């Protein structure tokens, strides 16, 4: 059986995926726009929250927390799991706010929470996530990097790279600018399993981490 390309009227064409950035939490709702695959709430962390994160990272015990939580029980879960450092309650309140916002936005009862102390690039190559939509925020250290649609060749993702590094596989166009959000920013990354978004997930990677540097990374997924 043969197939042929179908030319749709311009009015039916879906625009190239794009990022949407806002200084308001409500700006995250832009993720529901068909042409948005990356929505960012740009924010600056308050001093108390910065200090709480610094105290947590200065604690001698590194940690990685992974739990299914609800808006009602996330605070108790974090109180059980996090080291009892100065200002911990400020961090717990902020995470609880994000869990509540995520569950409200996607009409979900639960979320998969990961909070990890990181001293290396967890996913150093550009990739797309095989999830509907993931929330990422970096409380300390370098934050997530991403590519605009005009700066990449999706055919060079994964196996399409033929084993070559991103820098020489043809994935990144020669004049591309690697974009990066800031510590404190809250990002929603639309993945390949968002209905209608196949082949359009945001292309991103973990940033490099210098010797002696640490990140505090939190992600939320649909549980």
Q: Where are the domains of the chain?
A: 16-222
Q: Give 115-129 pLDDT, tens digit per residue.
A: 999 887 677 899 999
Cα(188)–Cα(102) distance, rounded to whole angstroms?
Answer: 9
CA distance 132 to 172: 24
Look at residue 200 in the predicted model and tell me its pLDDT: 96
- Per-residue exposure over 9-30, b if at least 16 CB sit within 10 Å of its own CB, e if not: eeeeeeeebebbeeeeeebbbb
Mean pLDDT (the chain, rounded): 91
Q: Are 151 and 203 in contact (CB under 8 A)?
A: no
pTM to 2 decimal places: 0.90
pLDDT class of 4 with cuts at 50, 70, 90: very low
- pLDDT, tens digit, for every residue of 79-121? 999 999 999 999 999 999 999 999 999 999 999 999 999 887 6
Q: Is 54:35 a contact under the CB 8 Å cutoff?
A: no
Mean pLDDT of 192-206: 96
Architecture of domain 16-222: Sandwich (2.60)
């Amino acid at each position: 059986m043969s197939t042929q390309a179908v030319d749709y009227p311009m009015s039916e064409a879906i625009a190239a995926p794009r990022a949407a950035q806002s200084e308001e939490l409500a700006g995250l709702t832009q993720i529901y726009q068909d042409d948005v695959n990356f929505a960012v709430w740009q924010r600056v962390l308050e001093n108390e929250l910065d200090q709480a994160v610094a105290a947590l990272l200065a604690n001698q015990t590194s940690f990685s927390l992974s739990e299914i939580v609800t808006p009602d029980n996330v605070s108790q879960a974090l109180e059980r799991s996090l080291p009892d450092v100065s200002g911990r309650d400020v961090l717990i309140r902020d995470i609880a706010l994000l869990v509540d916002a995520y569950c409200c936005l996607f009409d979900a009862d639960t979320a998969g929470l990961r909070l990890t102390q990181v001293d290396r690039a967890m996913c150093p190559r550009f990739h797309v996530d095989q999830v509907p939509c993931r929330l990422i925020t970096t409380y300390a250290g370098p934050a997530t990097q991403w590519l605009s649609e005009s700066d990449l060749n999706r055919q060079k993702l994964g196996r399409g790279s033929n084993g070559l590094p991103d820098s020489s596989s043809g994935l990144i166009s020669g004049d591309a600018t690697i974009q990066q959000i800031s510590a404190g920013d809250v990002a929603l990354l639309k993945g390949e399993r968002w209905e209608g978004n196949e082949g359009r997930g945001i292309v991103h990677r973990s940033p490099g981490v210098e010797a002696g540097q640490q990140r505090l990374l939190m992600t939320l997924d649909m549980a």
